[in-house]
Structures are given as C-alpha cells and as structure tokens.
C-alpha cells in the first residue's frame, strides 16, 4: 500500500480505492493531465476537501481552478473511511478547547461542527445519492467511571453549545439502541448520519465539474516548484502552471513534495472489515437499532455500524507501515475485536478488509491555512474525524482565499500546522503506544 512517509510518488494507475464502498460500482473516469496547462488556482487532491474547495471557488466566487488527483476522486481516505457523519474534528474535547481558547471560542468551534453536518446534508439534499442512513451516533463508555462525565458533557452540549445530546444509562442502551454487547452507559447524538463515503465523493466531483472545475485523474505530482510568483506542477504526462496552490491531500501528502507541509502531519493507518450480510438471527444477536453508528471511548477505539444491506462494518487501528497494511494479522485483529464485542458472531465471514491513512496533527487540532507570502493554502490534520469537517474545510479554504472577512473568528486559520519534532521517531513512538494500549486492554484497564 502507498506509504506517504516512504514513497516519493503515489501510484497513478488505480481507478478507485480497494474498499467495500466502491467494489461493485462504476464511476466516471477523469482524464489525466497532459501537455502544458494553465489555471488561476490548482488544487492537489481529489478528496472531500479539494473537491469542496474547488466547487466553492467556482460556484461562489467564479474562480478558475483545476483539481489534480493521483488516481481518481475518492481514492484516498474519502473512499476508505467508515461513513460516519459526526460533529467534530481533531482530538480535543469541548473541555480542552474551552481551557485553551475560552468558552466563547469553544462555542463558536462547536457551531462550526454543527455547520459541517449541515454542509453534508445540503449536498445530499441537492441530489447526491450516497446511501444516507439516519440512525444517530452512540458513544459508549468503556468504563463505568466514565459515564457521569459523558452525561455532564451531554448536558453541557445541550445547554451551552446548541446540540441535542441524549444521556443514556446501560438499560436505556440495551432496551432501545444496542442490546448485543454489554455497556455501562453513554450518550447519543441524534443528528449524525451514515453514508457511503466513496459515493458522496463521486457526487461532489460531479458537482464541481458541472460548476466548471477541471478535474484531472491518474496524475500523480512528481514535482512542485515556484518561481516568478507562479506554481508549476509536473506529472509524468504534463504540467500545469497556476497563480495559487492549494494542497488538500491531508494524510496522503507526499512528505517531500511541498516544503511548507513537510513533517506537519503524521499519517496513521486505520483499518476496516465488513462481514457478509447477517442473517435475521445474527442481526437479533447484534441488537442494533437501524442506521445506528457506535464508537467507544478507548484511546484506540472500535467503531461499527450495520450497513443498509445488513453487513456489519467494524473498524479500528491498522498497521504501522504501508507495506504491512494488508497483512492478514491486522484483519484477524479486527475480527478478534468484533468477536469480543459480539461473541455470538463466531461463525460470521469477512467479505472485505482495507486500510486508509488518517492525519494526526501535533497538537490534535487541524488547520486551514493561507501562506500569503507563497500564495499557498492547505487544510489538514483532522485526526481521523474528518468526513463532515473536511467538506466544511473546503468551503472555508475558498473563503480564506477569496473573502477572508466572511470567516468566523476561529483558531483554525490563524497559524500553520506545527512541525513534529524528531519526526523520524513518530512511528517507533506509535508502536510503543499501541503496545501499551494492547496491554491495558488485556488486563482490563
């Protein structure tokens, strides 16, 4: 599997990701970049952020722009994630944001989270078919000691942050939401929805193209240079010159392609398995409300949902390095997690297994940044919580470039992503962290 910390250039011969979402579906193939092209704004990355940015630049501001994708739209994490449309991004809690920036700023950030869900819903309402399922999101406490804190969080989000979160006891969960696995309690987000993430990305690409955006597929960038106040991007078959560069590759960014992003994000693998369709008896064993999405509170959490065709999707941590991503032991580890959650599914068969890179920022907080001195913008560092927010981030990138006065007063666009110190130690440190969390899980901590 492509590894952004190792491979100089991603592959450029693939038509779609190797995930369940795209397996039996066809999509329009965008042509490669050939010859010498010019545009006002060039965007690297045909995922949610890049396509959303392009759509807003063209539709709202009339800017000429082009999207360059190494393979085809949705090949990266936009076609590999679990399809959870949730409020939030990064890894900071509301309490941590309030301590860092104050209550009013934390409230404004949370409004941005709610707006990001509205942005996704608006796209779907505007005609994107992405197998939307409305079942809400359940956050389970993995320890009894965490339940009171979650319930206080639900009350605070309702009273002071404009969300409608429902506190749940263990019996509430068992009776109404999830009876197939024990729980201590949790909280429920009714406005969260599930989607086929790859189909959502295909619909976004189509809308961008209809708005006048040029999209080039199967065009990995081999060189990215700037001289005479112009950006020049080169591929194996062509090149494109632009006044402004926007990098929207997030975790898939080539480490050495753009100096302004080098070692400012840490790509980490998340993996997912999908079962064969469950029988009626197996569905009763799982006991999950229709459309519900579930995640626990562990640092290395599991997340799962029943898909519209009755398959169970189950995700969690993956390998450390890209070259190990498809090893069977990581599929087996996820199945062990599935069976520890639902022991009565011992005979279930796995139909799909895949991985995708998520981008971790040093301070657990993403950025949407404009380096005006170099006419370069980027967005990234969503920390694995980026489906809804990455679409919102594309909209904010367009505003940051064309109309920064329209932006709410938030920390996202006020500083660049921080550089990881001792960047070469990131993966050894991650391996140690995984070993520690595995030991904690084994001894029941």
Residues 171 and 234 in one domain: no
| 407: helix, strand or coil | coil
**Cα separation of 85 and 425, whole Å?**
33
| 172: helix, strand or coil | helix
Residues 273 and 153 in one domain: yes
Specify the pLDDT at position 183: 94
> Is residue 240 a contact partner of residue 226, using CB atoms and an 8 Å limit?
no
Specify the pLDDT at position 166: 97
Residues 319 and 432 in one domain: no
Cα separation values, 265 from 225, 276, 426, Å:
21, 35, 10
**Cα separation of 383 and 319, whole Å?**
16
Among 76, 72, 82, 80, which residue's Cα sits nearest to residue 26? 72
Of 301, 330, 358, the last residue of a domain is 358
Residues 375 and 421 in one domain: yes
Q: What is the CATH number of the domain that holds 40?
A: 3.50.50.60
H-run or E-run covering 40: strand 35-44
Of 358, 389, 424, the last residue of a domain is 358
Residues 302 and 177 in one domain: yes
Residues 6+ apart with CB under 8 A from 439: 445
| 243: helix, strand or coil | strand
**Cα separation of 55 and 207, whole Å?**
7
> Is residue 113 a contact partner of residue 107, using CB atoms and an 8 Å limit?
no
Pairing of strands 266-275, 350-360: antiparallel
**Cα separation of 232 and 243, whole Å?**
9
- 322-343 in b/e form (b: 16+ CB < 10 A) is beebbeeebbebbbebbeebbe
Enumerate the β-bridge partners of residue 332.
none
Assigned token pair, 205: 């690409």
Q: What are phi and psi of 413, to 5 degrees?
A: -100, 20
Q: What is the CATH number of the domain that holds 190?
A: 3.30.9.10
Residues of the domain holding 141: 133-194+267-358
Specify the pLDDT at position 397: 98
Q: What are phi and psi of 223, to 5 degrees?
A: -145, 145
Residues 120 and 172 in one domain: no
- Alpha carbon distance, N-terminus to C-terminus of the chain: 33
Residues 400 and 300 in one domain: no
Does pTM surpass 0.75?
A: yes
Among 421, 419, 415, 408, which residue's Cα sits nearest to residue 371? 415
Q: Residues 431, 432, 434, 435: is their CA dihedral positive or negative? A: positive
Residue ranges in the chain modelled with pLDDT below 50: none
Residues 367 and 431 in one domain: yes
Per-residue pLDDT of 276-330, as tens digits, reads 999 999 999 999 999 999 999 998 899 999 999 999 999 999 999 999 999 999 9
Residues 28 and 116 in one domain: yes
Residues 351 and 271 in one domain: yes
Of 328, 358, 388, the last residue of a domain is 358
Enumerate the β-bridge partners of residue 59.
none
% helix / strand / coil in the chain, to the nearest 5?
Answer: 35, 25, 40
Assigned token pair, 197: 């993430």
Domain count, the chain: 2
Specify the pLDDT at position 445: 66
> Is residue 208 a contact partner of residue 67, using CB atoms and an 8 Å limit?
yes
**Cα separation of 82 and 224, whole Å?**
32
Residues 293 and 409 in one domain: no
Specify the pLDDT at position 439: 83
H-run or E-run covering 370: strand 367-371
Please give the full DSSP string across 323-351, using - where no structure is assigned: GGTT-HHHHHHHHHHHHHH-GGGTT--EE
> Is residue 269 a contact partner of residue 357, using CB atoms and an 8 Å limit?
yes
Q: Could you tell me where the DSSP H helices lie in 161-276? A: 170-172, 197-210
| 2: helix, strand or coil | coil
- 21-35 in b/e form (b: 16+ CB < 10 A) is bbeeeebeebebbee
Residues 274 and 354 in one domain: yes
Q: What are phi and psi of 106, to 5 degrees?
A: -60, -35
């Amino acid at each position: 599997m492509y590894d952004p910390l190792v491979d100089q250039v991603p592959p450029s011969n693939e038509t779609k990701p190797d995930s369940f979402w795209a397996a039996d579906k066809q999509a329009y193939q965008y042509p490669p970049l050939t010859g010498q092209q010019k545009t006002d704004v060039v965007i690297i990355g045909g995922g949610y952020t890049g396509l959303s940015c392009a759509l807003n630049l063209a539709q709202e501001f009339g800017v000429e722009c082009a999207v360059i994708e190494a393979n085809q739209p949705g090949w990266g994490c936009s076609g590999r994630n679990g399809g959870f449309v949730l409020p939030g991004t990064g890894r900071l809690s509301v309490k941590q944001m309030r301590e860092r920036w104050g209550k009013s700023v934390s409230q404004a950030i949370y409004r941005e989270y709610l707006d990001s869900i509205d942005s996704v819903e608006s796209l779907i309402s505007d005609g994107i078919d992405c197998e939307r399922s409305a079942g809400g999101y359940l956050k389970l406490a993995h320890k009894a000691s965490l339940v009171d804190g979650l319930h206080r969080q639900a009350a605070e989000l309702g009273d002071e942050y404009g969300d409608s979160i429902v506190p749940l006891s263990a019996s509430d969960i068992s009776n109404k939401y999830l009876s197939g696995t024990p729980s201590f309690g949790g909280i429920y987000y009714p406005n969260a929805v599930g989607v086929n993430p790859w189909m959502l990305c295909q619909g976004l690409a189509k809308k961008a193209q209809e708005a006048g955006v040029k999209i080039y597929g199967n065009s990995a960038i081999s060189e990215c240079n700037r001289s005479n106040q112009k950006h020049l991007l080169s591929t194996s078959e062509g090149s494109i010159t632009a006044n402004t560069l926007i990098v929207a590759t997030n975790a898939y960014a080539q480490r050495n392609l753009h100096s302004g992003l080098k070692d400012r994000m840490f790509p980490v693998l998340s993996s997912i398995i999908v079962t064969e369709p469950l029988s009626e008896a197996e569905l009763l064993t799982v006991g999950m409300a229709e459309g519900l999405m579930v995640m626990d509170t562990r640092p290395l959490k599991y997340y799962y949902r029943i898909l519209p065709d009755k398959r169970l999707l189950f995700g969690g941590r993956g390998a450390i390095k890209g070259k190990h991503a498809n090893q069977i032991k990581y599929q087996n580890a996820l199945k062990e997690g599935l069976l520890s959650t639902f022991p009565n599914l011992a005979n279930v068969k796995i139909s799909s297994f895949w991985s995708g890179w998520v981008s971790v920022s040093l301070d657990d907080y993403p950025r949407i940044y404009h380096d005006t001195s170099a006419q370069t913008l980027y967005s990234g560092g969503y920390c694995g919580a980026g489906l809804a927010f990455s679409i919102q981030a594309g909209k904010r990138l367009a505003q940051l470039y064309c109309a920064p006065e329209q932006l709410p007063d938030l920390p996202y666009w006020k500083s660049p992503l921080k550089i990881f110190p001792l960047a070469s130690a990131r993966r050894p440190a991650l391996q140690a962290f995984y070993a520690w969390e595995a030991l904690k899980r084994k001894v029941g901590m």
